[in-house]
Amino acid sequence: MTGTVIIIAVGIFVASLVALAANMLVPGGDNTATEDRLAQMASRRRGGGGGKLKEETGSLLMEGGFEDASGLIGSIMKSMPGLGEYLDQADVRMPPAQFGMICLGAFGAGVAICLASPFKLLAIFVGPIFAAVPVGWLMVKRKRRLSKFGNQMPEALELLGRSLRAGHSLNAGFGLVSKEMEDPLAREFGRAFEEQNLGIPLDEAIEDMADRVPNMDLRFFATAVVLQRQTGGDLAEILDKIGHLIRERLQILGQIQALTGEGRMSGAVLLALPPVLFLVMLKLNYEYVMMLFTDEIGRYMLGFGLVTQIIGALVIKKIITIKV
C-alpha cells in the first residue's frame, strides 16, 4: 500500500511539472504576432500561387500519418492534425497514431494501478496524469531541439555570408551549411537544399523551412532573403547584420538567465517541497497521512493542494520569464 501511495504522490508532482512545461512552451503573443506579420510580407512578395498546392500536400501528408489508425484513436488523432508537425519538430520518428497509443497505454497503466489499490476513485485523476507524461517528454524534447537550432543560427548565417562572398550561389551555401553544421540546423537546411535540387523555387523552399521550424530568427532570415531577391541589395551584408543581431540577443538572454537563476532555483525548491514533505510524513506517521485519503475533507484538501501547486508553478514561471 505504501508503494501505491508513493506512486500517487509522484504522479501529482509530475502533473505539476507537466503543467509548468506546457505553459513554458506556449509561444508568447508578441512573438507570434511578429512571425505572422513576417510570413504575410514574405507571402505577398512570393505570391499566392503555391498556397493551394502546399495546403493539399500538407493534407495528404497528414492523412498518410493517420492511415493506420482506426477506431477511437484514429478519430482523436485526425482531430489533432498539428501533432505530426509537433513530432517532427521534436525529431521523434513515429506516426502520430503510435504516439497516441503510447499515451493511451500510460493512461491504462495509471488506471490499473489505482484499481489494484484501495484508492479506486483516484483513477480518474491518476490516469490523465500518467497519460500526460509522454506529452511532457515530447514538449521538453521539442523545446531543447528548437533552442539548439536557435543557438546555431548566427554561425550558419555567417557561413552563408562567407559562401556568398566567395562567389557561390545561395543554393550552394545551403548545401555547405548542411555539410558543415550539426543537427538540427544541418538537417533543415539540407532539406531545403534538396527541395531546390528537385525543382522547388528557392523562395518557397526557404518559406517552407521557416514554417517547419517555429523560430523567429529563421523567419527574419526567410523574409530578408525573399525581399532581397525582389528588390536587390547585398545579401551577404544583410546576413552578417542579422547574425550579429541574433548573437547580441542570445548574449542578453544568457545574462537574463544568469540573473534569474536564483529565482528559478527558489521556484524548483518550492515546487518540490510539498511532495517531498508528503513522503517524509508518510514514512514517519503512516496513519496520520492516510487520513487525507480516507476522510472526505482530506480528499478535498488533496485536490486543493494540487490546484494551488499548479497555480503557484505558473505564477513563478511568469515572474522569472523575461522576453528578449
DSSP symbol at 117: S
The CA-atom distances, in angstroms, between 156 and each of 19, 60, 203, 217, 321 are 34, 32, 18, 12, 27
177 with 141, same domain?
Answer: no
Listed residues 207, 234, 257: the one ending a domain: 257
28 with 76, same domain?
Answer: yes
42 with 156, same domain?
Answer: no
Determine the average pLDDT of the residues in 219-239: 85
CA distance 236 to 159: 10
Dump pLDDT digits (tens) for 145-182. Answer: 988 988 898 888 888 888 888 888 888 888 888 888 88
Dump pLDDT digits (tens) for 35-56. Answer: 555 555 545 444 444 444 444 4
CB 172 within 8 A of CB 208: no
DSSP E strands in 53-143: the ranges are: none
288 with 140, same domain?
Answer: yes
Dump pLDDT digits (tens) for 78-107. Answer: 656 677 788 888 888 888 888 888 888 888
Say what angle helices 123-165 and 82-89 make with each other, to 10 degrees.
60
226 with 270, same domain?
Answer: no
53 with 122, same domain?
Answer: yes
63 with 195, same domain?
Answer: no
Listed residues 222, 237, 257: the one ending a domain: 257
Torsion of CA 32, 38, 41, 45, to 10 degrees: -130
- Sequence-distant (≥ 6) Cβ neighbours of residue 267 within 8 angstroms: 313, 316, 317, 320
69 with 163, same domain?
Answer: no
Residue in 274, 279, 321, 322 with CA at minimum distance from that of residue 301: 274
DSSP E strands in 252-306: the ranges are: none
Q: Number of helices and strands (H, E) in the chain? A: 15, 0
128 with 219, same domain?
Answer: no
The x, y and z cell numbers of residue 112, run together, are 490499473
CB 128 within 8 A of CB 103: no
Show the domain range for 25.
2-147+262-320
pTM: 0.64
Tell me the range of 145-149, 227-231, 275-279 where mean pLDDT is highest: 145-149
Q: Which amino acid is at 153?
A: M
Scan for cell 530568427, then name that residue.
217
- Total domains in the chain come to 2
| CATH code at position 205 | 1.20.81
163 with 194, same domain?
Answer: yes
- CA 288, chain centre distance (Å): 41
Listed residues 257, 292, 308: the one ending a domain: 257
197 with 228, same domain?
Answer: yes
96 with 166, same domain?
Answer: no
